[in-house]
């Protein structure tokens, strides 16, 4: 008997092996010409654990991943960056732009982490989400994305006052806030002002569907663990062990489940992910890895590995620029007073700023971290090109900004011209205070060796071009602990590489960097706070005119073309007076991946890029040739799709 069992077993094993060999062959071919992997399971490492799964509360990428994949937004970006219906099937806007009515998709259900049906998804779920976020006691980090809604900010301030024991100025109730469900499948938003970009805000945390029943059942424990939340999106998180693993399975009942190809996502935690991931990728244990600059040269020398490295797409939701500090309060040298006094004179002199503006070879500096694709990353404006467009016309093609996009600002002759003028104008001012050239430019960095090197390259280049009797650059390493608080926010620098990110798809989202009261460059009247004015009348005049232009742009809410034009003009004005030096946007780093990045959802801002919808796993890694080919293809398709969608 045993003999027969043994024969049977071995026979079936053999059969299975053969079947595997034959069946596992042709699974299908993806857009890059690569074969699909037989097992569509996505494996990866993460090195920073989420502090909570509550997508209503949190604003960090790690935490939001669960929300993006687990619930639905009303609209979400597809892989061309165009907003497509998701939880909603359509919407209407009233003529005055104040009322938005969404029709909710019917037939969607909530499931718990084990896949048990928990009820239908209705319009009330989005109301519940919003109401949770504006309740100050919930301490939501997403409360500010609710503020375009009528009375939302007022309600938040009211509950906030109650919390700190003061008497509130208003006495609103939740019904006064401009969000309601007219019936189970009709959702209405009432806005404070006409907000043309409202649709793009819907990709943020406070607009993720959340069932009130779920909130009631779990109360304070809501979303502290995967068991304490419900799912209606493309994936269900069936396993969550902090510092161990995040595990998702495909939700077959999602309306668009046909376009979800990855059936399982296994994300393991490892604090050393940076060190270990490349090795694990080579062994096939994970499906993608970042490739640091040091590893890059190693891998490029190996013929096998060189085929696995690609760059990544440029992303437009983050912008870097070199800021001139108008409120110098340098404290980290042994001659701070001299530096601050001289810098105050220098930064207020437009010719000085322009000499640096035209004297900095930004491409060269970018070459430090991006040896092959510096061109793609460099931008000439604060708002990156490709961030937002209207009717196919990119924001940077509007107004006076279009002219600035053409050439690199780097111009040796112009720089020297401005330098000579500046020296003439500034010398008497300096000597009046008992100082003289060279101006010492203090710049700080946070200890990252790439950044340090960038500073060095710029230092060398500027000093060589303009002469070290004009300027000298002092590079200080502040360290990473408390960097922003210790350098930028308190004015402890002269020029520094600064950055900021977008919150919604409209130029207004970038104004927090330049508006009065900002903690970036302080180009506004700070007399109230500091009692000493470090800006000349000339500078303040420029700033004031800029603020007027910006305010006019913000006020224009109905005519998008005009709105963009006004914003573009304001920005061009700012850059023309060399108040800042635009630098680059993000992306462009090196990775090795067995996915196709062009299949993943793409958006200028919001969290949709964390979604795993529409992506396949392939058997081999993508090569740079494949990437370049796909990029051109994708850009064409995207432009066409954009026109078709009327954006």
Partner 1 sequence: MSRFSVKENRANRLEEALLEQIEQTAAERDELTAGEIESLDPEEFETVPYSAEGAERIGYSNYSYWRSTLRMFLKNRLAVAMLIVIVLLMGFAIVQAYLPGQGTRGLTEGILPAQGPQNAIRIYNWPDGTKDAGLPMKNQRPSGAFWFGTNAIGQDLWSMIWSGTRTSLIIGFAVALIEAVVGTFTGLLWGYIRKLDFFFTELYNVLNNIPTTIVLILCTYVMRASIPTLILAMSLTGWMGLARFIRNQVLMIRDRDFNLASRCLGTPTDRIIVKNLIPQMVSVIMLRMALAVPGAIGWEVFLSYIGLGLSVDTPSLGNLVNTGRAMISAPRLRYQLIFPAVILSVITICFYLVGNAFADAADPRNHL
Partner 2 sequence: MLRYSLNRLLRSLLTLIIIIAVVFSLLRLMPIEGYFDNFDKMSPTQIQNKLTLMGLNDPLYKQLGRFIWRLIHGDLGTSTRYRVGVPITGILGKKILISFRFGILAMAVSLPLGMLLGVAMARGKGKLADKLGNAYIVFIQAVPNAVYFLFIQLYGAMLIRCSMLYKASDLRTAILPILSLALPSIAGYAMWLRRYMVDETNKDYIKLARAKGVPESVIWRRHVFRNSVVPMVQLIPGSILMTISGSIYVESLYSIPGMGGLLVDVIKRQDNNMVQALVILYSIMGILGLLLGDILMGIVDPRISFVKKEGSR
Cα separation, 296 vs 213, in Å, equals 51
Determine if 447 is a binding residue for partner 2 (CB under 8 A).
no
Helix, strand, coil percentages in the chain from 3-state DSSP, rounded to 5:
40, 20, 40
Please spell the DSSP secondary structure of 486-555, one letter per residue: HTTTTT--SEEEEEEE-SSSSGGGGGGGTSTT-SSS--S--HHHHSS--S-HHHHHHHHHHHHHHHHHHH
Of the candidate residues 20, 23, 284, 479, the single one contacting partner 1 (CB under 8 A): 479
| Beta strand segments in 47-116, E | 75-77, 83-85, 88-93, 99-104, 109-111
Q: β-strands 109-111, 117-120: how paired?
A: antiparallel
Determine if 216 is a binding residue for partner 2 (CB under 8 A).
no
Contact 205, 567 (CB under 8 A): no
HEC profile for 323-339? EECCCCCCCCCCCHHHH
Determine if 534 is a binding residue for partner 2 (CB under 8 A).
no
**Could you tell which of partner 2, partner 1, none binds residue 391, using a CB distance below 5 to 8 A set by kind?**
none
**Could you tell which of partner 1, partner 2, none binds residue 531, using a CB distance below 5 to 8 A set by kind?**
none
Q: Supply the minimum distance, in Å, between the C-beta of residue 216 and partner 2.
A: 16
- Among candidates 612, 598, 599, 596, which has minimal Cα distance to 233? 612
* 239 Rama sector, left if φ>0, alpha if ψ -120 to 50, beta otherwise: beta
Q: Which is nearer to partner 2, 144 or 192 (CB)?
A: 144
Q: Enumerate residues 613-632 that contact partner 1 by CB under 8 A.
A: none
DSSP state of 37: P
- Among candidates 111, 42, 606, 645, which has minimal Cα distance to 318? 606
Q: Supply the minimum distance, in Å, between the C-beta of residue 492 and partner 1.
A: 13
By CB under 8 A, which span of 95-103, 191-199, 274-282, 598-606 interacts with partner 1? 274-282
Determine if 482 is a binding residue for partner 2 (CB under 8 A).
yes
- Among candidates 404, 316, 406, 410, which has minimal Cα distance to 365? 410
Of the candidate residues 35, 144, 463, 515, the single one contacting partner 2 (CB under 8 A): 144
Q: Which residues pair with 83 in a beta bridge?
A: 77
Determine if 170 is a binding residue for partner 2 (CB under 8 A).
no
Q: How many Å is the Cα radius of gyration of the chain? A: 27
Determine if 283 is a binding residue for partner 1 (CB under 8 A).
no
Q: β-strands 439-445, 471-477: how paired?
A: parallel
Determine if 274 is a binding residue for partner 2 (CB under 8 A).
no
**Could you tell which of partner 1, partner 2, none binds residue 242, using a CB distance below 5 to 8 A set by kind?**
partner 2
Helix pair 449-466, 412-432: axis angle to 10 deg: 80
Of the candidate residues 220, 294, 334, 337, the single one contacting partner 2 (CB under 8 A): 220
CA 198, 202, 204, 210 torsion-angle sign = positive
Q: Enumerate residues 40-99 that contact partner 2 by CB under 8 A.
A: 51-52, 54, 57-60
Q: Which is nearer to partner 1, 97 or 452 (CB)?
A: 452
Of the candidate residues 51, 84, 331, 449, the single one contacting partner 1 (CB under 8 A): 449
**Could you tell which of partner 2, partner 1, none binds residue 474, using a CB distance below 5 to 8 A set by kind?**
partner 1
Determine if 284 is a binding residue for partner 1 (CB under 8 A).
no
By CB under 8 A, which span of 82-90, 278-286, 336-344, 631-639 interacts with partner 2? 278-286
What are 616's two structure tokens?
């396949």
Cα separation, 86 vs 88, in Å, equals 5
Contact 149, 178 (CB under 8 A): yes
Exposure of 616 by Cβ count < 10 A (0-12 exposed, 13-18 middle, 19+ buried)? buried
Q: Enumerate residues 588-607 that contact partner 2 by CB under 8 A.
A: none
Contact 415, 358 (CB under 8 A): yes
Determine if 485 is a binding residue for partner 2 (CB under 8 A).
yes
Q: Which is nearer to partner 1, 172 or 484 (CB)?
A: 484
Listed in sequence order, the residues at least 6 apart from 172 whose beta carbon sits closer than 8 Å to its beta carbon are 151, 154, 155, 158
Cα separation, 341 vs 560, in Å, equals 44
Of the candidate residues 161, 276, 341, 540, the single one contacting partner 1 (CB under 8 A): 276
Q: Enumerate residues 241-260 that contact partner 2 by CB under 8 A.
A: 241-244
Listed in sequence order, the residues at least 6 apart from 530 whose beta carbon sits closer than 8 Å to its beta carbon are 327
By CB under 8 A, which span of 89-97, 152-160, 373-381, 406-414 interacts with partner 2? 152-160
| Contact characters 325-364, partner 1, x per CB under 8 A | -------xx-------------------------------
Determine if 306 is a binding residue for partner 1 (CB under 8 A).
no
What are 163's two structure tokens?
């919390």
The pair phi, psi for residue 439, each rounded to 5°, is -80, 130
Of the candidate residues 12, 48, 480, 619, the single one contacting partner 1 (CB under 8 A): 480
Q: Which is nearer to partner 2, 144 or 338 (CB)?
A: 144
Q: Enumerate residues 285-314 that contact partner 2 by CB under 8 A.
A: 285
Determine if 268 is a binding residue for partner 2 (CB under 8 A).
yes
| Contact characters 12-51, partner 2, x per CB under 8 A | ---------------------------------------x
* 249 Rama sector, left if φ>0, alpha if ψ -120 to 50, beta otherwise: beta
Of the candidate residues 233, 500, 582, 597, the single one contacting partner 2 (CB under 8 A): 500
By CB under 8 A, which span of 22-30, 320-328, 447-455, 630-638 interacts with partner 1? 447-455
Determine if 490 is a binding residue for partner 1 (CB under 8 A).
no
By CB under 8 A, which span of 207-215, 265-273, 530-538, 580-588 interacts with partner 2? 265-273
Q: Which residues pair with 239 in a beta bridge?
A: 247
Q: Supply the minimum distance, in Å, between the C-beta of residue 280 and partner 1.
A: 9
By CB under 8 A, which span of 271-279, 360-368, 521-529, 566-574 interacts with partner 2? 271-279
Q: Which residue has the tokens 């009820």?
A: 119
The pair phi, psi for residue 356, each rounded to 5°, is -70, -40
Cα separation, 97 vs 118, in Å, equals 36
Q: Residue 398 CA to chain centroid, in angstroms?
A: 23
Q: Which is nearer to partner 1, 90 or 447 (CB)?
A: 447
Of the candidate residues 99, 160, 186, 263, the single one contacting partner 2 (CB under 8 A): 160
Q: Which is nearer to partner 1, 400 or 453 (CB)?
A: 453
Site residues (vs partner 2, CB under 8 A): 51-52, 54, 57-60, 136-137, 139, 141, 143-144, 156-157, 160, 163-164, 220-221, 224-225, 241-244, 268-272, 275-276, 279-280, 283, 285, 482, 484-485, 489, 500, 503, 512, 519
By CB under 8 A, name the binding residues for partner 1: 274-276, 278-279, 292-295, 297-298, 332-333, 367, 447, 449, 452-453, 455-456, 459-460, 474-482
């Amino acid at each position: 008997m045993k003999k027969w069992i043994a024969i049977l077993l071995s026979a079936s094993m053999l059969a299975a092996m053969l079947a595997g060999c034959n069946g596992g062959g042709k699974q299908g071919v993806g857009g890059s010409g690569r074969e699909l992997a037989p097992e569509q399971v996505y494996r990866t490492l993460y090195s920073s654990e989420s502090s909570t799964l509550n997508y209503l509360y949190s604003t960090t990428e790690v935490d939001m991943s669960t929300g993006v994949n687990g619930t639905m937004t009303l609209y979400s970006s597809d892989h061309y960056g165009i907003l497509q219906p998701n939880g909603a099937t359509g919407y209407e806007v009233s003529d005055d732009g104040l009322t938005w009515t969404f029709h909710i998709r019917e037939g969607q259900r909530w499931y718990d982490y084990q896949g048990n049906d928990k009820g239908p998804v209705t319009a009330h779920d989005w109301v519940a989400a919003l109401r949770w976020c504006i309740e100050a006691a919930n301490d939501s980090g997403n409360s500010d994305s609710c503020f375009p809604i009528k009375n939302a900010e007022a309600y938040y301030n009211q509950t906030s006052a109650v919390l700190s024991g003061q008497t509130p100025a208003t006495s609103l109730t939740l019904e006064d806030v401009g969000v309601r469900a007219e019936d189970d499948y009709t959702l209405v938003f009432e806005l404070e002002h006409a907000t043309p970009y409202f649709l793009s805000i819907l990709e943020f945390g406070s607009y993720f569907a959340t069932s009130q029943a779920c909130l009631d059942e779990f109360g304070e424990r809501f979303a502290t663990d995967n068991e304490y939340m419900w799912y209606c999106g493309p994936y269900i998180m069936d396993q969550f062990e902090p510092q161990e693993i995040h595990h998702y399975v495909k939700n077959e009942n999602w309306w668009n489940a046909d376009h979800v190809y990855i059936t399982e996502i296994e994300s393991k935690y490892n604090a050393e992910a940076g060190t270990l991931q490349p090795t694990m990728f080579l062994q096939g244990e994970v499906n993608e890895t970042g490739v640091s600059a040091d590893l890059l040269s190693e891998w490029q020398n190996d013929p096998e590995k060189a085929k696995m490295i690609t760059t990544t797409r440029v992303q437009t939701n983050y912008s870097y620029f070199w800021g001139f500090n108008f409120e110098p309060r340098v404290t980290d040298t042994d001659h701070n007073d001299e530096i601050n006094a001289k810098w105050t004179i220098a930064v207020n002199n437009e010719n000085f700023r322009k000499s640096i503006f035209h004297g900095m070879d930004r491409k060269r500096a970018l070459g430090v971290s991006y040896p092959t694709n510096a061109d793609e990353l460099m931008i000439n404006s604060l708002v990156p090109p490709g961030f937002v467009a209207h009717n196919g016309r990119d924001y940077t093609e509007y107004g006076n900004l279009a002219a600035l996009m053409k050439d690199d600002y780097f111009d040796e002759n112009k720089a020297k011209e401005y330098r000579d003028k500046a020296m003439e104008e500034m010398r008497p001012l300096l000597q009046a205070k008992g100082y003289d050239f060279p101006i010492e430019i203090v710049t700080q960095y946070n200890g990252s060796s790439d950044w340090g090197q960038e500073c060095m390259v710029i230092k060398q280049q500027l000093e060589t071009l303009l002469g070290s009797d004009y300027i000298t650059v002092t590079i200080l390493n502040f360290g990473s602990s408390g960097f922003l608080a210790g350098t930028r926010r308190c004015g402890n620098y002269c020029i520094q590489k600064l950055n900021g990110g977008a919150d919604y798809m409209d130029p207004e989202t970038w104004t927090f960097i330049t508006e009065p009261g900002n903690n970036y460059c302080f180009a506004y009247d700070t007399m109230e706070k500091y009692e000493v004015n470090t800006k000349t009348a000339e500078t303040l005049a420029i700033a004031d005119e800029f603020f007027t232009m910006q305010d006019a742009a913000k006020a224009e809410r109905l005519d998008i073309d005009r709105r963009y034009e006004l914003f573009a003009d304001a920005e061009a004005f700012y850059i023309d007076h060399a108040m800042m030096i635009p630098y680059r946007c993000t992306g462009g780093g090196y990775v090795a991946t067995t996915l196709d990045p062009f299949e993943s959802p793409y958006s200028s801002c919001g969290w949709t890029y964390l979604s795993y919808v529409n992506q396949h796993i392939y058997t081999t890694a993508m090569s740079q040739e494949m990437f370049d080919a796909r990029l051109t293809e994708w850009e064409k398709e995207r432009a066409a799709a954009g026109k078709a969608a009327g954006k």
